Amino acid sequence: MINYSKLAIPIKSKGRIYKENLSSIRSPYQRDRDRIIHSTAFRRLKHKTQVFINTSSDHFRTRITHSLEVSQIGRTLARYFNLNEDLTETLCLSHDLGHTPFGHAGEEVLNECMSDHGGFDHNLQTVRIVMLLEKKYYSFNGLNLTSETLEGLLKHNGLPVDKYTLVEIVGRECLNKKIDLDNGLSFEAQIAAISDDIAYNSHDLEDGLKAQLFKLEHLNEITIIKNLYKSNKKKFKNIDQKTLINIITRNLINVFVTDIIKETQKNIKKLKLKKFQDLDKQKDIFVNFSKPILQLDKELKNFLKEKMYNNKIVKQNTDRGKKIIENLFKKIKKKPLKYIKKEALNLYSKERCIADFIAGMTDRYAIKLNKSI
């Protein structure tokens, strides 16, 4: 194993926007992780859609179980490369804090409602939550996370807006000199991003099988699954389907993680860096799949899109969720003071406050409020 410990972001952070005394028992990134876990937004993920609306079943994944699974994969990769596990875990646990109820369908319709007011993006909403909306401290709004955590969250999928719009949505604090918006993602942040990919691909597949949206035999359309299916059927005689699904899911994650390790080592070697610290200045992503696995990953995504995300039952539920959010936005806009604090309306536009309110809802609260509004 190559020792990458010099590449890791050190325990000593660049700092926080609002100065705080260092803890004598926890690193800055441990404190970030703990602040995320104790946040209101994190607890609400328990009742937010991953693929299936939260009221569908107790056994399907929600945003919180997805975030925990992303964290497990992220920690595995971070430990292998001797990176900062606490920072990696923080980014994995917090990456979906800004998600609306009803998953990406909810985000899509809320973005349409906000089209004339800066739009809506769940990644930026995550940053808005941790920088402005969480109320836990006397001296400042937000959670006052480290610069490294904020950078990783801001650039999770690349900055989706220009700096002017970013300031409008997140606030001027995002331009603080401690936050680097110009360089690429840190090693830890890249691991968090690709761990997200692995988790939702593998586990959405598992949930789709359990929901009987497709059968195990249908997975022969996907090369990577076909090979795992054949080898496990041969290895385990008379295996029941439930156990086989679990084994294939584990095998799939292992294939992805192993490939990432090998490809990332190759990519770093190609960079021929003079010093390890230059790695975080790279504009291009270096934590990635190999070309063959990228192709297999694309096959898997296409299969999930056709058989699961566009499935008639799933679409009926997500369309219902879209209508709920659209209706809530229209109704709340007519009487904002009934639902939103006056102090918030004095600070931000009416539409942005409504987006904050709706994005913070759980599936069941949105359904309940829509019935009574």
Task: Give the model confidence (pLDDT) of 65-90 as tens digits.
Answer: 999 999 999 999 999 999 999 999 99
The CA distances from residue 155 to 41, 189, 283, 364, in Å, are: 20, 8, 11, 30
pLDDT at residue 112 in the model: 97
**Low-confidence residues of the chain, pLDDT below 50?**
none
Tell me if the pTM is above 0.85: yes
Domain boundaries, the chain: 11-185+318-372, 193-313
Contact 328, 367 (CB under 8 A): no
- Look at residues 101, 92, 100 and name the one whose alpha carbon lies nearest to residue 71: 92
- Report DSSP letters for 30-93, one per residue: HHHHHHHHTSHHHHHGGGSBSSS-TTS-SSS-BHHHHHHHHHHHHHHHHHHTT--HHHHHHHHH
| pLDDT for position 3 | 55
Residue that has been written with the tokens 């100065």 in this structure = 19
Q: Given this model, what pLDDT does residue 139 score? A: 92
Query: What pLDDT sits at residue 57?
Result: 66
In 3D space, the residue among 92, 49, 297, 76 whose CA is nearest the CA of residue 196 turns out to be: 92
Q: Calculate the CA 215 to chain-centre distance.
A: 28
Q: Which CATH superfamily is domain 11-185+318-372 in?
A: Hypothetical protein af1432 (1.10.3210.10)
What six digits make up the tokens of 268? 């770093």
Q: How far apart are CA 213 and CA 121, in angstroms?
A: 29
Task: Supply 24's token pair.
Answer: 């004598």
261 CB contacts (<8 Å, ≥6 apart)? Answer: 77, 80, 81
Residue 162 neighbours by CB under 8 Å, 6+ apart: none
Q: What pLDDT was estimated at residue 273?
A: 79
What pLDDT does 254 receive?
A: 96
The strand pairing partners of 351, in sequence order, are none
Predicted confidence at residue 161, as pLDDT, reads 67
Instruction: Please report the pLDDT score of residue 54 as a whole number.
Output: 60
Instruction: Tell me the two tokens of residue 306.
Output: 């056709």
